[in-house]
Structure 1
């Protein structure tokens, strides 16, 4: 295969992971890889390896047109614009339009499990509309509905361990935690392939865990007990606001608990292992390897 492969958001953690796997796991020649980012200077090390680095600002349509030029297969990594409602949708639809105009032969996109109308996750419509735009473009596609990263535990776990209490409204809902690098390997494998048929994959970890089960694992690894405290969505939102979080962010975070409670994040598939050709890292092994990060 001699296709030119493009990755947006290449300075982010997932984008970096995908490119590293393209280069080191699947041995794609650097000359066939285009890494795009708003901050090209952050990718100087990739440029030094021979990767083509281009600026791509999802708010600048002209930069997108230049960024996608000459690519055969392109991975659009969903943006992290969450502060302004609808902004992420606009950005991603602009990227899909740019890919279409550039004549991309296969378009890959990182989405969210259960994006259909009715999802409790507040930004699920951004992903749903992007998926629909990709399908309407007529470009053969691969949609990756990425599950919950193990690394997301680093955001709240230091505070949870410090207080000994985990406030949640997820009830007995489970999340299929997966290591970001495992998902990156699966995505890179599909991007590097010559497969052209349109497919949607849900990428998850190897097992789903409730909050109580995660708390037990973290306690086993760190030796620090955690009491899981179940609240209503409203009470959890008010508690987050009282701790200093802006209301839009608090509501967004609580929407993930609501989605977990509804079962939207608990599905388990073997797609990561099937695509990557390697075993997924179990959550306990991940926690043991990242014990220091858990404590903040």
Structure 2
């Protein structure tokens, strides 16, 4: 946790200009590309054999502070320079599907500083969407960007490395020494709802499509309503608070544990491969999950 991070209310302002990366290389012109392609290409480039270096405490604190500063004021000039020194590129643009402006802060796939992919909507923040295992839980990034687009004011947090990189040191859902966790922790202070998307093999729980959990916390009416909405959308749902869902309940998830301490709304969602491979089913899943933020 970052003790000196600001706790002021997050206010989003600013205009859209395309920024160059601060590392001496030009950032991709994200405003000219479909964000879904940007997200999918990033995830598909991640490798379990890629190098990964655990960020030091100062690096985690600095990166999270600069990312939160961008989220607050959307004037990422000084922040972009500092983030560049930490291995991130910073770009701004407009989402071609929603017309909403965004800032993208992302590490490069394969860089040992694969510390994250942070997509920030320039509307007032309302929801944190988390994809901790891109490249491993296949196609979860597609649900992530779809949820981001469905909810104005979303912040998409995606891991910057494959979960098995660095002898699993890059597994952000089970490690507190990551930039991903540092940013998620600070957003929890503002009690922004957090929705974390995972994937499981069909054989792991063959009679279920979706597993919904509050992680280490207690299920609320929002969790129960979301489970009902998923069932109404023809998904077979395992509710971790009322039945056994095997090892897929997310109770050891470090973001879920911290959310329970902060009493921040948190959903840990596991989706089977059949759902993730079917575009129509994935769209139905994302629509049903909208109940959680109502």
Over alpha carbons, which structure has the higher Rg?
1
TM-score between the two structures when normalised by the length of structure 1: 0.30
- Structure having the higher helix fraction is 1
TM-score between the two structures when normalised by the length of structure 2: 0.30
